[in-house]
Amino acid sequence: APDGYTIGMITVEITMMHHQGLTDLKHSSYTPLALVNEDPPGVQVIATSPYKTAKELADAIKAAPPGKLKASGTGQGGIWHLALIGWLMAMGLKPDHVAWVPSNGAGPAMQDLAAGGIDIVTCSVPEAKAMIDAGKARSLAVMAAERNPQFKEVPTLKEAIGVDYSVGAWRGIAAPKGLPPEIATALTAAIKRAWNSKEFVDFMTGRGFGLRWDEPAGFAAFMAKGDAAMGAAMTAAGLAKKA
């Protein structure tokens, strides 16, 4: 029952899975309470990669035959795969110009990168942080409107190669549809207090995760915009289920 005693975390996948025919659930199936986090993907290469900048990598991608370079970061059609697709399309390339190697997540993909099995990993910089800190990988750029304060040395794609493209994984809090407005208001206020707390801020910033706040109306609009973008990317890549 939508009484405020059952709430949960929803993630970027709620704007993706229905396009693939995996569920009928959409972001509009819930009562949004607050957006609390967003992490854009970075473009990671092995530390010994000949590509020292995002421009060098982008030039190499454009010059390479389709499928020669390989990338990973998540499963087929996952958020980091779509991030790569969006980036390639923003550069005027076909969505499969770089071959995608499905993985069970960013961790295994970064391991494969360090072993030389793939050329690029598109995942959030926090997920790549351990390998970067160990000197086994480098992040060349982030697909975001501005730099991550926790990784100030990593430029945006627009700064690096003039491509204005951004996307991200995000997390928010929601409740069942039909939650009474007064309960939603009380819950959003409580979430905001937790979001502002030193414990939460220290936890997130200490691990490089992005803090992003938006209240119900803004969160709903944010999800709707993301849903449209994910649907377009999936359709272009042939990953969306045809009606």
pLDDT of 243 strictly over 60: no
pLDDT of 47 strictly over 70: yes
User: Residue 214 corresponds to which tokens in the numbers above?
Assistant: 């938006």
- For 77-115, the pLDDT digits (tens) are 899 999 999 999 999 999 999 999 999 999 999 999 999
Q: What is the distance between the alpha carbons of residues 83 and 71, in angstroms, rounded to a whole number?
A: 11
pTM for the predicted model, two decimal places: 0.86
Provide the percentage of residues in the chain whose pLDDT is more than 70: 99
Provide the percentage of residues in the chain whose pLDDT is more than 90: 85
- For 145-162, the pLDDT digits (tens) are 888 887 889 999 999 999
| Structure confidence at residue 42 (pLDDT) | 94
pLDDT of 214 strictly over 70: yes
- For 91-101, the pLDDT digits (tens) are 999 999 999 99
| Structure confidence at residue 101 (pLDDT) | 97
Q: What is the distance between the alpha carbons of residues 120 and 139, in angstroms, rounded to a whole number?
A: 10
| Structure confidence at residue 126 (pLDDT) | 86
Could you tell me the pLDDT band of residue 236, with boundaries at 50, 70 and 90?
confident
pLDDT of 242 strictly over 80: no
| Structure confidence at residue 181 (pLDDT) | 97
| Structure confidence at residue 103 (pLDDT) | 95
| Structure confidence at residue 208 (pLDDT) | 83
pLDDT of 203 strictly over 90: yes
Q: What is the mean pLDDT of residues 42-50?
A: 96
